[in-house]
Amino acid sequence: MASARFGCVDGRAVLITDSLTSYVDIEKFSSGKLPSEPMACLERWSEVCKVAASLSPTDDLNAIALNANKLECPVPRPRQIFAIGINYKAHAAEMNNPLPKEPLVFTKFQSSLNSPNGSLTLVGEKCDFEAELVAVIAKGGRNILADEAWGHVAGLCVGQDVSDRALQYANTPPQFSLGKSRAGFTPIGPWITDAASLTTRANLEMTCRVSGEIMQHTQTDDMIFEIPEIISYLSTICELFSGDVIYTGTPSGVGAGRTPQRFLRSGDVIETTIQDLGTLTNKCI
């Protein structure tokens, strides 16, 4: 097995097999050595990766068929969800923002989490899409050095930072956290891919399609602050904990930055894909 892929089905931690079409239950597969609870597994990430490495092609044959619609958020109860605004140069330009000197940080609240293929209930006329690379912390701490930051990451996954621009820009200056925390506005998944085994982790291709049309397309090495710098910076201020989630910012092409603007409509399907990490498919209702 090349990379551990950690997901959640029926509230239980699972490992997705290399075929991406089946999974095994972690607690059962590890004969009870690892817990079934996803957040508890994230605290024991190195053991999860060892168990994943022991998955053989025979286990793949005996695994349970994966129904993508049954996949739940792989990190269901993060203690903290950080998000970085204006972290791609081209996105800064389209939003008429200067390049930040330090990471621009806001939060998405836990009650807004959604499953990888969950539907998205729009509110008002100005809901927008933001494809993002998401890092999940395995080992927390304070004052983490950038050089050591990858050692604190469990893995990477795909995220959508769905944003109600009307709420975000209702006042001057704008406020981010509530406009990005409506119910279902934080889909994450489809699973967490072990970062240590991911040789492409510093530069992944990311694409966001809305109803089939490519809206965002970038390489993640266009970020202003890369994942190690973000983790180091955050940890000088806030203690990080196992299971914390970090949204690392969206590239250019969001609906609010387009001419004419293109906001989400009922019936739209948002497909967010990151190379080697998978796809989120969220239908707007």
Tell me: does residue 244 bind Zn ion (CB under 5 A). Answer: no
Instruction: For the chain, give percent helix, strand, coil, nearest 5.
Output: 20, 30, 45
Distance set, CA 33 to CA 2, 41, 51 (Å): 22, 10, 10
Nearer to Zn ion, 130 or 244 (CB): 130
Q: Fill in the DSSP letter of residue 69.
A: G
Tell me: does residue 250 bind Zn ion (CB under 5 A). Answer: yes
Nearer to Zn ion, 63 or 167 (CB): 167
Residue nearest to Zn ion (CB): 161
Residue 207 dihedral angles phi and psi, to the nearest 5°: -135, 140
Nearer to Zn ion, 72 or 130 (CB): 130
Tell me: does residue 194 bind Zn ion (CB under 5 A). Answer: no
Q: How far is the CB of 13 from Zn ion (least distance, A)?
A: 27
The CA-based angle 217-134-101, given to 5 degrees, is 80
Q: How far is the CB of 130 from Zn ion (least distance, A)?
A: 4
Residue 60 dihedral angles phi and psi, to the nearest 5°: -60, -45
Nearer to Zn ion, 115 or 250 (CB): 250
Nearer to Zn ion, 38 or 78 (CB): 78
Residues numbered 128 to 187 that lie near Zn ion (CB under 5 A) are 130, 161
Question: With contact defined as beta carbons under 8 Å apart, do 276 and 217 qualify?
Answer: no
Residue whose pair of structure tokens reads 């406009």 in the numeric block: 179
Q: How far is the CB of 84 from Zn ion (least distance, A)?
A: 7
Residues within the interface to Zn ion (CB under 5 A): 130, 161, 250
